[in-house]
Amino acid sequence: MYKLKAALLLLLSITLSNAFAQDKVRVDSLTRVLKTAKSDTVKAKAYYNLMMEYVDADSALAIKYANQGMALAAKSHADKVLGNIQNNLGAFYNFRGERRISDSLINLALNIRLRIKDSLGAAYSLMNLGHNNYDQNNYAAALRYYTQAARIREKIHDKKGLAGSYIWIGNVYYEGIVNYPRALEYHGKALAIYKEINDELGQSYAYSNMANVYMEQKDYNRSLKYNLLSLKLKLKLNNVRGIGVLYNNIGNMYFYSGKADKALPYYYKSLKIRESQDDKVGVATSYVNIANVYLGRNDLPKAEDLLLKAIKVAKEINFKAALRDGYLSLFTIYNRKKDYPKAIEYFKLHTDYKDSTMNEASAKQIAEIQTKYETEKKEERINLLNKQTQIQQLKIDKRNTTIFIICCIFIVIVAFGYLFYNRYRLKQAAILQAEVMKQQDMATKGIIAAEENERRRIAGDLHDGVGQLLSATRMNLDTLLERLKLSDTENRELADKTMAMVDESCKEVRTIAHQMMPNVLLKLGLTSALRDFVNKIDSHRLKIILDVSGLQNRLDSSVEIVLYRVVQETVNNVIKHAKASLLDIQLQMEGHEVSVTIEDNGRGFDTTDREKFEGIGLKNIITRVEYLKGTVDISSSPGKGTLVAILIPLN
C-alpha cells in the first residue's frame, strides 16, 4: 500500500507509453520525407517526429534521430523545432532516470522558448523541470517551477494546462510539504477548471487526488466519495488502467479504515485489470495488498504464497517499494510461526530496501528475536540432556548468555547515550548557527537601513542646501549681469556660459537628489516611482515596457525601497553594459508574494564568470533581495540577452 507518489509515477509512465506508441504507416511517411525533403528545417521536424515514434519501441534509435534532428535544427536556426526536441528528449531521459542529462536538455529548451517568446512551450519546459525535481524529492524547487508554469498558462489563457499545473502544485503540498488544506485547495482549483472545459479525464484525476488527501486525513467517507466519482468517470471513458488504480485506491481506503473484508474484492478487481494490462508494478502492488489482508486474518499460507508472487514480479522490474514491503510482511509471518532464522533473514532483506538506515525500534525488535532464538536453542539442549553435570553446564552456558546479553544491553545504552549527546551537540550547533544568521540578518538590515537613511539625508542636503545655494547663486549672478550690462561680445559669451553651467549644476543636483531618494516613491508609492523613473530614460536609446499588476495598494516602505533600488540598479546595468534596444519589466503581486522579471535583448554575459558577475552590481541586487528573504534567478549567455527573475514573499 503505497502513497500518492508511486501512483503519480505510474501515471507518468502511462502518459509516456501512450505518447510514444509507434505507428508504422507514419514512420514510413516520415522516412520518405527525409529522403525527398530539401529543407533542413523540414528534415529536422521529421527527425523529431521519428524520435517520438521510436522512444518506446527502440530508445537507442530514438536518441539517434533526436541528435540528428538537433544538429539540423541548429544549422537551419529552426529554434522552435530545436526547443521541441530538447524538451521531449529531456522528458524521456527523466523517465529513464537520467536526471542530469534531462535537466540540461530541458533548460536548453526553456532558454530557447523564452528567447523566441514561445510562452506555451516555456510552460511545458517549466513543468518538466518541476517533474524532475519532484522525482528527486526537491519539493521547494518543484513548487517554484510549477508556480512559474501556472503563471504563464494563466497569462496566455491555457486553461487545461493551468489545471495540470494546479494538480502538480497540489501534489507537492500533499507529498512533500504535507499541507493537506493547501493540497485540497489546488486540487479543487484544478477540478473547477476541468469542469468548466468539460474535461472528464482531468476531473477523474482531480477526484482521485482529493480522495488520497482525505484518506491521509483519515476522512474515509469523503475519500470513498471522491474515489467513486473518479471511478464513475474512468468507467465512462473506458480508461482501463486508471480503473485498476482506482480499485486499488478504494481497497486501500477500506483497509486503512479497518474494513479489510470490504477491501479484498477491490484489490482482486485491481489485480485482474493489472494482469490484463501487463502492468507489473501494479501486479506486484496488488499482490502485497491482498497478502496483507490475509495476514490480518492470520491466514499465513495464503499470505505467504501471494507475497512470494509479489517478490518474483518485483525482482523482474527492480520495484524496490514492493520488495521492501513484501519482505517486511514475510518477516511478520515467520515471526508469528516462531521460525526466527527465517524471520531474521527476511527482516535483513527488508532493511536492504529501506530508504533510510534501520531505526532504533527496528534494531530493538531484531535483537529481541535473536535473543529468543538463542534462548530457545539453549532450552532445547537442556531438555535433551539427562545427566546432572550436563544440566549444570547448560546452566553455566545460560548464565554466560545472560551476562553477554547484559553486556550487549549496556553497550546499546552507551551507544544510545552517545547518540543522544551527539544529537544535543548538533542541536546546540544549529541554535548557534541560527543566532549567527539572525545577527547577520540584523546587520544586513541595519546596513541597508543606514544606507537608505544616508541617501535620504544626502538627498535632503542636496535639495535644501546645495540646491538652494545654487539657486541663490544663479539669482545673484543674473542680477549682477543686469547691472554690469556687458557690451563686449566675448565677456557676454563668457557670462552666458557661466549662467548655463550654473543652470546645469542646479539640474544635476536635482537629478542626483531624486535618484538618491525620489519624492514620488515616498509620496505616491512604488508603481508611480517606477513609471516616473522609466519615463525619464531616453526611449530612442532604450525602449522600456513596464507592466505592473496586483499592486493597487502600497507595500511596506522597506519592500518598496528595496524593489525600487533593485529595478534602478538593473536598468542602470542594462544601459551601461548590455547595449540593448528593448527592456521588458514586469512587476506582479499575487497572494502573499511579489514577482519581478526584467528581460533585455542585449549582448548578455557569462554567468559563470564570477569577476564579471560581481563587477556589474548583480551581487548588490542579490544582497538586497535576500534581505527580504527573496530569491533571484539570473539567466544569461553571451549574445542572448539577460533575464532576471525575482520572487519576494510578503508574510
Asked if residue 82 lies in contact with residue 56, where contact means CB atoms within 8 angstroms, the answer is: no
- Spell 179-206 as b/e; 16+ CB within 10 A means b: ebebbbebbebbbebbeeeebeebbbbb
Contacts of 46 (CB under 8 A, 6+ apart): 30, 33, 34, 37, 69
Task: Identify whether 587 is part of a domain.
Answer: yes
What are the two backbone dihedrals, phi and then psi, of residue 588, each rounded to the nearest 5 degrees?
-135, 135
- Give the helix, strand, coil percentages of the chain, each rounded to 5: 75, 5, 15
> What pLDDT score was predicted for residue 243?
92
Q: How far apart are CA 587 and CA 560, in angstroms?
A: 12
Our CA dihedral for 123, 577, 564, 624, rounded to 10 degrees, sits at 80
What are the grid coordinates assigned to 243, written together?
480503473
Task: Identify whether 625 is part of a domain.
Answer: yes
Task: Identify whether 13 is part of a domain.
Answer: no
Residue 574 DSSP SS3: helix
Domain with 547, as residue range(s), is 524-649
Q: Indicate which CATH number applies to the domain containing 562.
A: 3.30.565.10
Mean pLDDT, 10 residues at a time, the chain of 651 residues: 41 40 74 84 88 81 90 91 91 81 93 94 95 84 93 95 96 88 95 96 94 92 92 91 91 90 94 89 92 94 94 86 90 92 90 55 42 53 63 75 84 81 78 64 57 56 55 68 71 71 66 59 79 82 88 82 85 85 90 89 81 65 82 87 89 69
Task: Identify whether 185 is part of a domain.
Answer: no
Task: Identify whether 612 is part of a domain.
Answer: yes
Q: How many domains does the chain have?
A: 1
Q: To 5 degrees, how large is the angle CA 557–CA 559–CA 561?
A: 65
What are the grid coordinates assigned to 487, written together?
557690451
Cα distances from 5 to residues 12, 131, 322, in angstroms, run 11, 11, 14
Residue 643 DSSP SS3: strand
According to DSSP, the β-strands at 543-549 and 631-636 are unpaired
Strands laid side by side in the 582-590 sheet: 543-549, 582-590, 593-600, 642-649, 631-636
Task: Identify whether 595 is part of a domain.
Answer: yes
Task: Identify whether 130 is part of a domain.
Answer: no
CA atoms within 13 A on the CB side of 103: 13
What are the grid coordinates assigned to 251, written together?
481497497
Q: How far apart are CA 383 and CA 239, in angstroms?
A: 64
What are the grid coordinates assigned to 577, written together?
553594459
Q: How far apart are CA 266 and CA 290, in angstroms?
A: 10
DSSP bridge partners of 585: 546, 598
Task: Identify whether 393 is part of a domain.
Answer: no
Q: How far apart are CA 196 and CA 183, in angstroms?
A: 20
CB burial of residue 378 (10 Å; 0-12, 13-18, 19+): middle
Residue 58 DSSP SS3: coil
Give the H/E segment covering residue 62.
helix 59-75
Q: Which letter does DSSP use for residue 640 in this model?
A: S
